[in-house]
Structure 1
Amino acid sequence: MNHTSASTFLARRAPRRATRGFTLIELMVAITLGLFLIIGLITLVVSNVTTRSELDKSARQIESGRYAIQVLAEDLQNAGYFGIAATTEYTGVTPAICPAAVADLGYVPKTSPGISTVPFPVYAVTTAPSCITDVMPNTAILIVSRTSTQPILVAAKVATETYMQLSNCASDLMPFAVGAGSSSFPLLNKDCGGVSTLRKVVHRIYFLSTCNVCGSDTTPTLKVAELVNGAMVTTALSEGIENLQYDYGIDMDGDGAPDCYTSNPTSPPAAEIAACPVTVPPHVWTDPTANWTNVMAVRVHLLARNTDKTAGWSDATKYDMGLATGQVGPFADAFKRHVYSTTARLYNGSGQREQP
């Protein structure tokens, strides 16, 4: 046998090395490890989605709360702006909540020596009026009266809107004129050589509603009913606002600064009066007209909640809502909440009383 034949024979006789794969145990271990990895990834994804969802809820609540408090504060700071000079004497009167005519608004110009009347810059009501619906129980309803800060020319007036025209000419018999846009506005400007500009009358009712789109949801919402084209038109401002209360700062000594706060200038609670300082002469708390006339600042307390529930959450917090209701809660539900508060000064009234 030659060398080549021997090699071939030995190669044929040599045992083959078996091809080795995974055993059943190894396969089961690999599958188990893979499942653990998948479960970990799923848990991470779910956690991220939940966290993102909660952040979105909180962001919407913060945006709603801050926007609502900003809208209220800005309008309150402009309350009582009637385009009237600081030297003009006028008396505040209670406006009709749901005005059906211009005369209901409280603007009554008087010729000398009479004193003209304008509506109180702010005024609260405790009973829901007929021109607003779905009012949240036990929440404040506030009327803001003023004129627009943007004047327009008489030629630009709209027939169905309501305007005020201020006289700056000594020869005019009335200090101002108020009427629908279809009326004539003859008062003169400061040079008595031309017609004065007009300012749109602003009459707004701020309130909380039990729904945003009523009939479709039950989301508490801050709304405003405003006099537009001779009728009250309601607009939703910010959803998720669950409670709204006000404290009113009363100027007791005539210097334009609030000396004491009450939850109800129409009928101040005895406990709130007792906490106020004594002035000379003493402030007469039993006169609602004097109280509303002397409101120089408003503290706003607003409770905003998430519009969606949070799984596993139970609200155990108490929230301070000012003098009217004190603390509210805990609600023991799955909504997260936050209180927003601010103090808005009524510059148009307080500024006239400040001493140089």
Structure 2
Amino acid sequence: MNELIKPTKPITKRAFHKTQGFTLVELMVSLSVGLVIFAGVMSVFVGMRTTTAQTSSYGELQENGRFAISVLTDDLLRQNFWGDLSGTLSQSTLISIPAQPGNNCTGEGVNNATFPQATGPFRTLWGQTIVAGALNPLGCFSMPANTRTMVGSDVIQLKRVIANPVAAPTAGNYYLTSNLASAAIFAAGDAVPTIDNSRLWQYQHHVYYVREVSAGNDFVPVLIQGRLANFSMNFAPVIDGIERIRFMYGVDTDIDPTAAGYGIVDAYISADNMTQQLWDNAGGTRVLAVQVFVLARSIRPDNKYTNKNSYQLGDDLPFTPEDNYRRLLFSSTVTLYNNSVESW
């Protein structure tokens, strides 16, 4: 028996309408909603990207500034340290002194070279604010092409021995051998002077200043350190993004050791206001502390940011840059323990 074939359901007008696509109005509404959502997402993305860039920039400033402060304060803490020698270093306490090193850094004063001389007190600490027309005040700065010394920043030099004694000299370095009463400075390769019950310490002369290095159409500020190596003063970058360093020297002007204020800082004085007597610790005055100011600057400008802040570095006039660089100011006060006593 033949199977009955059911007739197919006729396509109605209502069923046909359900298979149609979006209308033009629906498309326009959907696109409008999508654009609004996309604009919101992009706004959040741009905001997050800007915040991330700012956070990264300030993080870099924090790292650079803290490292620079650490290097300067650690060096200043050990300024005027002469191993086992009791008292200050001078030619009268030395049984031998080598010739001055190559590219010798000689600051202001009659006895401000790397090694002590016969005239006047030996300056183990000295500084100066760099001004236009005197960009190499110590006569030893390396001046590569496309660089310039930062005007308005300070230069500081200090002398000491490295904190830990050594067993034997290393080529290219200078050394101090000392006991409580006497000492000798000699170059590695020379015979070690004979001093009873003495130990051996590496001699160092450090200089810090800020140099600007050309980078395209701009200059990047760099903290530079000079140090003794290969029997000469050599200069190398320490860290980028340090725009200025300034120092205020804490001076005790009380001459009488029995006075109530003896051994206490009476005033903090900038480098350009320090006198010859104060630098020489002469007449009973002594430099007992140093305030350190470090201004860190971002490496690259941000054209969406204008820096209208003012930065006070010691007693200098406030610095208001009015440019597109972010900055952070760091400061620290260092007690010069080796200057606070005349002998150990």
Pick from 311, 320, 337 the counterpart of residue 319 of structure 1.
311
Q: Is the 8 A contact 1:92 1:120 kept in 2?
A: no
| Matches of 1:188 and 1:216, distance apart in 2 | 57
**2:341 is aligned with 1:346:** no
| Matches of 1:245 and 1:17, distance apart in 2 | 85
* Unmatched 5+ stretches in structure 1: 110-115, 191-195, 269-284
Residues 96 and 217 (structure 1 numbering): CA distance in 2 closer, same or farther, change over 3 Å? farther
Q: Is the 8 A contact 1:124 1:141 kept in 2?
A: yes
RMSD of aligned alpha carbons = 3.4
More divergent stretch after superposition (218-227 vs 13-22): 13-22
| Matches of 2:117 and 2:121, distance apart in 1 | 7
| 1:266 to partner: Cα distance | 7.0
Please, what TM-score do these two structures have when normalized by structure 1? 0.76
- 1:269-348 to 2 correspondence within 5 Å? 288-290=279-281, 294-323=286-315, 325-329=316-320, 331-348=321-338
In structure 2, the residue matched to 1:57 is 57
Q: Is the 8 A contact 2:224 2:237 kept in 1?
A: yes
In structure 2, the residue matched to 1:36 is 36
In structure 2, the residue matched to 1:67 is 67
| Matches of 1:89 and 1:332, distance apart in 2 | 47
AA in 2 matched with 1:29: V
AA in 2 matched with 1:107: P
- Aligned with 2:61: secondary structure? helix
| Matches of 1:34 and 1:215, distance apart in 2 | 43
Q: Is the 8 A contact 2:57 2:298 kept in 1?
A: yes
| 1:290 to partner: Cα distance | 3.1
- Aligned with 2:331: secondary structure? strand
- Aligned with 1:308: secondary structure? coil
State the Cα deviation string for residues 285-315 of structure 1 (Å, max 9, x = none).
Answer: 8665236971111111111111122232211
Larger radius of gyration: 1
- Aligned with 1:143: secondary structure? strand
In structure 1, the residue matched to 2:96 is none
- Aligned with 1:328: secondary structure? coil
In structure 1, the residue matched to 2:268 is 261
In structure 1, the residue matched to 2:151 is 137
* Unmatched 5+ stretches in structure 2: 93-99, 107-111
Q: Is the 8 A contact 1:265 1:291 kept in 2?
A: no
- 1:1-356 to 2 correspondence within 5 Å? 8=7, 12=10, 17-18=15-16, 19-86=19-86, 88=87, 90-91=89-90, 98-99=103-104, 104-107=113-116, 119-125=122-128, 126=130, 127=134, 128=136, 129-132=138-141, 133=143, 134-153=148-167, 156-168=168-180, 175-190=182-197, 196-211=198-213, 218-253=219-254, 255-264=262-271, 267-268=274-275, 288-290=279-281, 294-323=286-315, 325-329=316-320, 331-352=321-342
| 1:249 to partner: Cα distance | 0.9
Between Structure 1 and Structure 2, which shows a larger proportion of helix residues? 1
| Matches of 2:187 and 2:277, distance apart in 1 | 36
In structure 1, the residue matched to 2:97 is none
Q: Is the 8 A contact 1:266 1:291 kept in 2?
A: no
- Aligned with 2:271: secondary structure? coil
Q: Is the 8 A contact 2:311 2:319 kept in 1?
A: yes
Q: Is the 8 A contact 1:250 1:291 kept in 2?
A: no
